[in-house]
Chains A and B, each alone.
Chain A
Amino acid sequence: MTLKRTLTLGVASFTLMAGAAFANCPAVTVADPMGVPPGAFPQQYELSEFQSAANCTLAFAENPAIAELNGRIKGNPDLPPLAERLPEEPLVVAPYDAIGTYGGTLHALSNAPEAGTSDFLSVRHVNLVRYSDDLQTIVPNVAKGWEWNDDYTELTFFLRKGHKWSDGAPFTAADVKFWYDNLALDPNINEKPKDYVTVAGQPMTVETPDETTVVFKLPAPKPGLLTHFATHFGQGFQPKHFLGQFHPAISADADAYAQSLGFDNGYAAIMAYYGNSDWTDTGTPMLNRPDSLDVLPKNAMPTLESHFIISETTEGRRFVANPYFFMVDTAGNQLPYINELDELFANDQEVRLLKLVNGEADYKTQSLQIADAPLLLDGQEKGDYTIQLKPKISMHTVSFNVTSEDEGKRAVFGDLRFRKAMSVAINRQELNDVAYFGLGQIQQYIGFSPAPEFVDPKWLTYATEYDPEGAKAMLDEVGVVDANGDGFRDLPDGRPLVLNLQFATQGIAGQVVELIGQYWKDVGINTTVKEVTPDEYRSAQSSNQLDVGLWEKGQPLGIILGNNELWVPPFENYFAHRVGMKWAEWVDSNGSAGIEPPDYVKSLIADINAFQSTPSGTPEFNEIGARLVQNMTENLLFIGTAITPDPIYRRNAVKNFPEFKTASYEYYRTYPYRAHQWFLSE
């Protein structure tokens, strides 16, 4: 091992002098494998695996601008040689079409600092594992391997020896344990552990037998835990050497040190850097403490991602390539190829479209809707970009606030007949023709998307027929009739009922909301339509101020096995479509506050926990799955419309960019398609 390493180092330094052209391994790409057999996982190799498959020794080369980029990272020391920055076993990735060239800036558009950013977050994202672009195979990423025990109660990850954070400090198993024990489970940081870090409501334990081995011990089986790490934004590691300085459980003088930097205490410092959330776009001190940057040791906490943030304002963010990134291409070039990332915030959908048509961004999928497709397709040639139309996983859904603060509304919205009336009042065929250009597949919301085998097909079309007369009859039954003779139906207590349809284009298309509003007016329910920012929509939704929820929804089976949030009130996280905030309060407080949910909701909660612990494909698994679907669909907590394709935008200068399988968030957007090996060629 030592011999091989010395040899590699020698060859590396020779190659640096001679230029990368003399690397003696074949430059394998996905398009042209050059006769090298595939490794254990598609499109990538471990170093030793590649060297033996290609019968060569890989020599490493670096971005010529890397020292200059490193100089722009505050607090980073001067760079050691490349061989000391790469892990002993870097991940060797096969680029899709060609070995890339270094340089350039990738331009991205998001809505606001914490809105519409996931698309761009995914470009630099890494996690322990990843879904390959077939969306079926889980492959190594930060971890070079993993192992389950037989009953899925023990998951072991093997890390890369010599892997380093973006500031050069070693990344070890202790960083995984720190994330789990001291951030995810610390009530000072997360008051209540997130569902994804627990198993059947119980915490796991994390053991670190050595520096590169991490063992998650689960209180019950949860095969979906691995999927979680492959699809979730939450990274299963955080920099202990940095955040630990501020954590009272790690460092005795955490508070004193934090106070010397101007924070109230250590936890306040962790809040400023980590945002107390695994969500990776929470503000850095550059945004939340711009006045004290001079005294702070770093402007942002170290990362393992491909790029590191160097500036942040309410108008945009900038990143430079991480000089310690752990991947190389098959020619030995350290990734990423792209020097800088530039993210601009534009909260207006039309403005974003204008910029896209003008070729002012390099890649975008999030917030683009099928309704934008004609305009985008039309401008392809002139703007020098390409549009792919790919199916989505989630679909536009509507919900009624069944735990409204207004008791009159709560009674009406809580009545299944009302929700069913509103579902059949929607003319989905026309909606599909007008808003989705006939490309949609009409469907009811069943939770799972696409529908697994255990789903009875009848649920896919449940209450999706257009029946305005039936809707009117059901509304009459509920007592929602026109009492004051103004042509619109009123609440049973006589007060007028006006549904205020607040939406954000990030969650649903404006045309869809306009049409739905009109269909409901046609059966006598008055509506108004208003576009708001995603921040405002989310805030109003979670503070229980919306009558009607409007956002896309739906997850694949693999993700549901690792994350129960779609099935437990409020049925998803802050950023997505929620309903039943008061039920959630009841569940979280064990019944001491909020509103007690009906039996079918309690059954959903019990079933999802059992479902996650049951071996998939067994009759029991299928039975629980079918019950979940029935309870979710039959009760119409979320009313579906149609599964549609959405546009994916790529400027033609972005190379090594494959055909995406879906235009969706669920596999964490670009993560399966390896943005780290994109490069720019004008």
Chain B
Amino acid sequence: MQFLQFALTRAFMALVTLLTVSLIVFTLMELVPGSCAERYLAFKNTQGSQITIEDIEAEERRLGLDRPFVERWVGWVGNVFIRGEFGDSCILRLDINQLLADKFWISLGICMAALILSYAIAVPIGIISAKSTNAWTNNSLRLVSYLGLALPNFLLALIIMLFSTVMFGDSLTGLFSNEYRDAPWSWEKFQDFLSRAWLPIFILGWSATAFALQTVRALMLDEIGKLYVTAAAARGVTGARLLWRYPARHALGPVINSLGFDLNRIFNELPIVALILTLTEAGALLFESLARSNDQQLAGAIIFLLTASIVLLNFVTDILLAVLDPRVRRGLMG
């Protein structure tokens, strides 16, 4: 009962967050100069139309741009939440849902894979390295994680591309080889995708791993010297059992909590990497729509989807933590 109440409260808070985010995204979309009506009419001008101020106003009415800000926001949010529709991109004049199609899922997949990869490496290695006294292991781990933190992703991508172009004559760009580009999803297409997607996953995963590794290690070092660990050791608990059951359990709480934050960080880095590797996914599309083509509707849709994923992930980790640790439930409910 208490758990259900906790979950419902959390879900409600997630929804409120999402609505607030949608308001911010929508406001940002509005700040960009030039309305969709003007853009659309500039295109119609190619059809030989005469465009007058009245035409622009009529088009604004048709697109509902003359209505008050709040009303338009409610309309946009309503469409997104109820029908899952983001409307049309006014630069490309195509339905955004169709334009994004699998692209967003591909981006999310790449980010999640990078996230999982980094935690799968960082958690065990971080714990072990905190305990390890072997100078060589510690130093090489430190070197790898400092490189991951210090090497900008775009530079890493460029270095790997250059290396591959010179050595193998393949620039490693794109997400699919030509024959699978427009093919429907199949096992073969997925394999083809993996044969290319490993590179962005690796690049994004490296820096994320480095970050997570240092966090886990620091948290472990904090916990490992605490009295309850010594007490447990005194009771005869040793080795891996001691590590996992005592300091690690406490150290991992904050790590799980930061999953949403890490996803956000990885996604932030995705557009630059995607642009360099010419991945045709949502990150590159986001960069292009924001920086190059001024496509507010499209950028808004991608940012909203991304935030929704982060909010959802946070919700899931909250629930997960609550399941693992009853104090969290009580903490929220007072």
Contacts and interface: CB of A to CB of B under 8 A. Distances in A.
A344 B92 CA distance: 17
B172 to A, nearest CB: 10
A354 B173 contact: yes
A536 B294 contact: yes
A128 to B, nearest CB: 21
Contact of B178 (A279, A342, A538, A539): A342
Contacts of A539: 39, 42-43, 91, 294
Given A351-B173, A532-B294, A573 B46 contact: yes
Interface in A240-289: 276-277, 279, 283, 287-288
A277 B34 contact: no
B49 A543 contact: no
Contact of B48 (A194, A344, A593): A194
A147 B165 CA distance: 55
B294 A574 contact: no
Contact of A277 (B41, B47, B182, B278): B47
A536 B51 contact: no
B181 A314 contact: no
B46 A536 contact: no
B186 interface: no
A74 interface: no
Interface residues of A, number: 53
Contacts, number: 110
Interface residues of B, number: 38
Interface in B246-298: 275, 278, 280, 288, 292-295
A190 B48 contact: yes
Given A316-B181, A542-B42, A585-B52, A535 B92 contact: yes
Contacts of A48: none
A469 interface: no
A574 B292 contact: no
Given A277-B47, A288-B94, A589 B52 contact: yes
A533 B288 contact: yes
Interface in B8-41: 33-34, 38-39, 41
Contact of A346 (B39, B161, B278): B278
B169 interface: yes
A545 B42 CA distance: 10
A191 B55 CA distance: 13
Contacts of B292: 347, 531-533, 536
Contacts of A315: 181-182, 280
Contact of A355 (B33, B53, B173): B173
Contacts of B42: 538-543, 574
Given A191-B50, A288-B94, A545-B33, 15 more contacts: A189-B47, A190-B48, A191-B47, A344-B181, A354-B173, A533-B292, A536-B292, A538-B42, A539-B39, A539-B43, A540-B34, A540-B42, A574-B45, A588-B50, A589-B50
22 contacts: A191-B50, A192-B50, A193-B48, A277-B47, A315-B182, A315-B280, A348-B275, A348-B278, A354-B161, A355-B171, A358-B169, A532-B292, A532-B294, A533-B288, A539-B294, A541-B42, A542-B46, A543-B41, A545-B34, A588-B50, A593-B52, A593-B53
